């Protein structure tokens, strides 16, 4: 078995340190130099010849982070690494996974091609915006599920009248999976957009009177949809409204929207580093989940035990 080495991209240093610690390794030594114009030049400061290399980098604020990841993969391959696995806790551009209107890019496929062309032998990620993105890669992909983090947390809350809600029709399958696990009901918020990040209208399908509602989504960006859904649910008589969301992109007026919302709390993971703190945002760690997945991959064992 080849030696395992774990390295961090500049966007995921804190998470990578936690993953490496849980795995039982020190984080590898890599330097990212930049020219005056911003051109990046990564270099490994230790031998990786014949090693299985894991490069951890989320691609939020995506352009530089995606390019940095590709450069790190290329550098590892040229340094004679045995295998290179790109660990991408948050996969940017995943919202552009199809042509939903004329003359647009399928950006998720383009990014998949870039990472594969850079030389990645394997991908590891968590809660893709759309599951079919797995098919955009022609190399093995391990798609971890945030439910392994959220289910224990929700269980210890011990809410007496729990019910799950999808903030839009696209999230129905995700909310239904939680509802099935906890053997409770679910509701759906049906929204209509005029343009990206702007909601024209929203309606609630289902009864939430006297319920402790848990909104479920894969990512929260400006938090407009989430806060609007929470407001409507509360107006319909819900006792409390929380949200569990894997990826806290939290851009624009997200923090203000959350602070001024009726949400009891927004529970996210640390796939993306927070830009600021909020009294309503609780962060759970995915480090142990990824460390166990890396152990399974390097030990050639099943990762199915990591799924709930």
Residues serving a catalytic function are 191
154/257 Cα distance (integer angstroms): 23
In this structure, the chain runs to a length of 308
Q: Which of 115, 43, 38, 51 is nearest to 80 (CA)?
A: 51
Q: Which residues, at least 6 apart from 212, have a Cβ–Cβ distance to it below 8 Å?
A: 159, 160, 161, 162, 163, 238, 239, 240, 242
Q: For residue 99, count other CB atoms closer than 10 A to its CB.
A: 10
- Whether residue 117 contacts residue 136, with contact meaning beta carbons closer than 8 Å, is answered with no
Give the number of C-alpha atoms closer than 13 A to the C-alpha of residue 6, restricted to the C-beta side: 26
The first and second tokens of residue 147, run together, are 């439910």
Q: What are the backbone angles phi and psi of residue 294, rounded to the nearest 5°?
A: -65, -40
């Amino acid at each position: 078995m080849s030696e395992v080495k774990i390295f961090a991209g500049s966007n995921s240093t804190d998470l990578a340190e936690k993953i490496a610690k849980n795995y039982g390794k020190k984080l590898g030594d890599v330097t990212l130099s930049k020219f005056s114009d911003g051109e990046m030049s990564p270099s490994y400061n230790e031998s990786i010849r014949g090693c299985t290399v894991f490069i951890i980098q989320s691609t939020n604020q995506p352009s530089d982070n995606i390019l940095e990841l590709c450069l790190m993969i290329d550098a590892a391959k040229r340094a004679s690494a045995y295998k290179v696995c790109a660990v991408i806790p948050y996969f940017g551009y995943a919202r552009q996974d199809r042509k939903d209107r004329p003359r647009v890019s399928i950006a998720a496929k383009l990014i998949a091609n870039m990472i594969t062309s850079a030389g990645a032998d394997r991908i590891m990620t968590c809660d893709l915006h759309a599951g079919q993105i797995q098919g955009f890669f022609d190399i093995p992909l391990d798609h971890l599920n945030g439910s392994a983090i959220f289910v224990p947390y929700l269980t210890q809350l011990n809410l007496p009248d729990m019910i799950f809600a999808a903030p839009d029709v696209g999230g129905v399958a995700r909310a239904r999976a939680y509802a099935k696990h906890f053997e409770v009901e679910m509701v759906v918020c049906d929204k209509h957009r005029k343009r990206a990040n702007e909601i024209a209208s929203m309606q609630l399908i289902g009864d939430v009177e006297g319920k402790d509602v848990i909104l479920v989504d894969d990512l929260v960006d400006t938090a407009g949809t989430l806060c609007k859904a929470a407001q409507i649910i509360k107006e319909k008589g819900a006792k409390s409204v929380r949200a569990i969301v894997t990826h806290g992109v939290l851009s624009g007026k997200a923090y203000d929207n959350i602070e001024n919302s009726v949400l009891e709390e927004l529970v996210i993971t640390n796939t993306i580093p927070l830009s600021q703190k909020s009294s309503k945002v609780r962060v759970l760690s995915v480090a142990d989940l990824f460390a166990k997945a890396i152990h399974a991959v390097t030990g050639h064992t099943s990762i199915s035990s990591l799924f709930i």
